[in-house]
A = this chain, B = another copy of it.
């Protein structure tokens, strides 16, 4: 077999079957994939949650992860944010002719590892190979089916609730930026790319009444808080000093003139709980990441808006991000 992906490997014929057998099934194989025909029979699922995500990130390998880890973690995180245990994933590749099979294998290995963190399996898939110039290296769609164990919903948020972050922010966005711009730092930063189901499971197991949970991906923490504020007609008041941001990320934001609140995260969530649960929630979050913190609370001061209380005791609105922030971050 050649060392790069060829157009014939996406032809639905002989070479296509070989690619699946020698690469995809070898790394990700299981009894569902073995028996799959045009689709896969999964039988009965009780509290089904369904989500989809396409990943077009550039570069495909970055500090802290790669497109394989990101795609499995990203889709599973969407389920986790709904209180759902990730179970069954579909996997669809669009690959540029000439893509290295070694890199393809490296991506599959990452996926396998991340699947095991989530306890999920790939049960059906698709592979398209397009001519050079019709995509940039490799794009991956993961659609995922989960089993809902807890009913988190932003509709439960009310005045007086507390807002927490599961870690320091903006690492994914800053890492991708630094890598693309060739910025060299004394202390390298790493993406926060991570599967969040283990943390969510701990919250459920500890019977924390989580009201709303959202991983702060594209649009960052600013997008999550603004969406909740607008959708539920509430005000979020956030203390800037309580939001952890690493020195390296701060440095990159200064160089580039970016607000860390709008930069993407890929393994950090915002969480709203009742005031009485804030301490226990923080303890659980800190057992996974010591940078977790309580960052603010829900009020009714400016309905539909997010207020940032700065370190100098001034107050300003944190708006919904707009414009072109950073394409191909995920």
Q: What residues of chain A have their CB less than 8 Å away from a CB belonging to chain B?
A: 6-8, 10-16, 37-56, 58, 77-79, 81-82, 84, 88, 90-94, 97, 123-126, 128-131, 133-136, 139, 141, 143-146, 148, 153-154, 214-215, 217-219, 222-223, 262, 264, 320-325, 327-328, 330
Beta-carbon contact of B38 and A48 below 8 Å: no
Which of A49, A52, A124: most chain B Cβ within 10 A? Answer: A52
**Closest residue on chain B to residue A39 by CB atoms:** B51
Beta-carbon contact of B43 and A44 below 8 Å: no
- Give the CA-CA distance A133 to B143 in the complex, in Å: 25
- Residues in B whose Cβ lies below 8 Å from that of A126: 52-54
- The 8 Å CB contact of A51, one of B40, B97, B129, B330, is B40
The list of the 4 closest CB pairs from A to B, nearest first, reads: A12-B218, A39-B51, A12-B219, A143-B143
- Residues in B whose Cβ lies below 8 Å from that of A11: 218-219, 321-325, 327
Min CB distance A105 to B, Å, is: 20
- Give the CA-CA distance A11 to B320 in the complex, in Å: 11
Beta-carbon contact of A92 and B141 below 8 Å: yes
- Residues in B whose Cβ lies below 8 Å from that of A327: 7, 10-11, 97, 129-131
Min CB distance A83 to B, Å, is: 10
**Closest residue on chain B to residue A15 by CB atoms:** B322
- Give the CA-CA distance A7 to B82 in the complex, in Å: 28
Beta-carbon contact of B322 and A13 below 8 Å: yes
- Give the CA-CA distance A13 to B216 in the complex, in Å: 11
Min CB distance A117 to B, Å, is: 18
Q: Known interface pairs A78-B39, A81-B38, A324-B7. Does A88 touch B50 (Cβ–Cβ under 8 Å)?
A: yes
Beta-carbon contact of B136 and A323 below 8 Å: no
- The 8 Å CB contact of A40, one of B50, B129, B218, is B50
Min CB distance A70 to B, Å, is: 13
- Residues in B whose Cβ lies below 8 Å from that of A217: 12
- Residues in B whose Cβ lies below 8 Å from that of A44: 44-48
Beta-carbon contact of B128 and A52 below 8 Å: no
Beta-carbon contact of B51 and A41 below 8 Å: no
Which of A6, A11, A136: most chain B Cβ within 10 A? Answer: A11
- Give the CA-CA distance A139 to B90 in the complex, in Å: 17
**Closest residue on chain B to residue A53 by CB atoms:** B126
Min CB distance A234 to B, Å, is: 16
Beta-carbon contact of A56 and B130 below 8 Å: yes
